[in-house]
Structure formats: C-alpha cells, structure tokens
Amino acid sequence: MRRIIVDALISLDGYLADANGEIDWFTQVEGFNRAEGEAWSLEMLRRADTILFGRVTFEGMAEFWPSEWARTNMAEIAGHLNGSAKIVFSKSLKTTAWENTTILPAPTKELVLDLKRRAGRDLLVLGSSSVVSSLLRDGLIDEFRIRIVPVILGAGRPLFKDQKERHQLRLVSCQSFTTGVLAVHYEPKT
C-alpha cells in the first residue's frame, strides 16, 4: 500500500504562512533553496508519483513551478512537480492550466484509502493545512517530514488546525542544515 507523506516548511511557532498569507519568510534564510533544502525535497519527490494539495497551496505552486525561471533554475524539482499527477481538493476551483492536475471536492477517507491502495509510488502532501488536518483526523498520514525554519511569526496559518485529539509520533530522524533549518521525520506511533 502506498504511503502518505506530509512535507511542510513551518516557522518555529508552527505556521505555514504568516498572518498575511505570505511565505517569503522561509526563502529569506540564506542559501535555503540550495544544496541541503533541495536534497531534502528531491528525496521525497523521487518517492512519490502523486501530490495532494489544498487550493491555497496549489494556486501558489501552480503559479511558480511551471514558470521558465523554475524550470531553468530548479530544473529537477520543477520536473518532478510538473510531471507528477496532482490532485487539488477544492470546492471553488473549477479549472487549472497546470498539467496532470485533477480537481476533487474533498479528501474523503474513502477516496484517500482508494488512492493508497492503487499501484504506484507514495502520495505526497505539500503544505496544505486543510488537507493535512483532514488526513490526520482520519488517521491516514504515514510520515511527517517537517522543516522548521528559524523564525517566529507570531500569527498565521498553522500546519495543524482544528485538531481535537492527541496524535503520538515517533522520531525517525532529525537533521540540522547549516542555514539553521531543522528537518524532522516522524511517523505515527502504533
């Protein structure tokens, strides 16, 4: 059965985006998108053939990754993201120009279990707090691969929202980058 991996960049206080919805704070870490950060991203992208998104994250990525700049300057990551199957969960988005994209209304437990049972490589959730929250409530996440950026935002959009239950995790690995980013890999405790 395919695994669901959550990959997210968060601030030290747990936010995916600041209070204005901006994500520029993680690119301000010197050298962030090079060497260590790219290696971490590529490791997960190589394992997956399908990427799951919420609408907000999807729209930001759909604007950036097909661009000529991304295809030239971050070619391998752009190649994986552009070439992979993408599922965006949205009730308001009707069409998109980003290749290989399917739009579905919600990440229901039945639908996601069906995706996990299909042949193929793993499923990757990039950011997308609404999708993460739904999958976490349904116990469908197999791995959390979180990069903690050394910045405190004070407010914003949290990765884990509307959680009412405790979820015990076990540490698989931890890596510190020279930029001060801490990359942690957790799996649910069974």
What is the model's pLDDT at position 52? 97
What is the model's pLDDT at position 32? 53
Give the contacts of 108 (CB within 8 A, at least 6 positions apart): none
From residue 143, how far is each of 123, 158, 174, 181 by CA, in Å?
A: 10, 18, 13, 19
The residue written with tokens 């799951």 in the block is 52
What is the model's pLDDT at position 41? 86
What is the model's pLDDT at position 163? 74
What is the model's pLDDT at position 31? 54
The CATH architecture assigned to 4-188 reads 3-Layer(aba) Sandwich (3.40)
Average pLDDT for runs of 10 along the chain of length 190: 95 92 72 71 92 94 94 92 96 94 94 96 94 94 95 92 86 91 93
CA distance 109 to 148: 28
Segments making up each domain of the chain, as ranges: 4-188
CA distance 116 to 85: 14
Instruction: Confirm whether pTM is higher than 0.75.
Output: yes
What is the model's pLDDT at position 38? 82
Phi and psi for 55 in degrees, rounded to 5? -60, -45
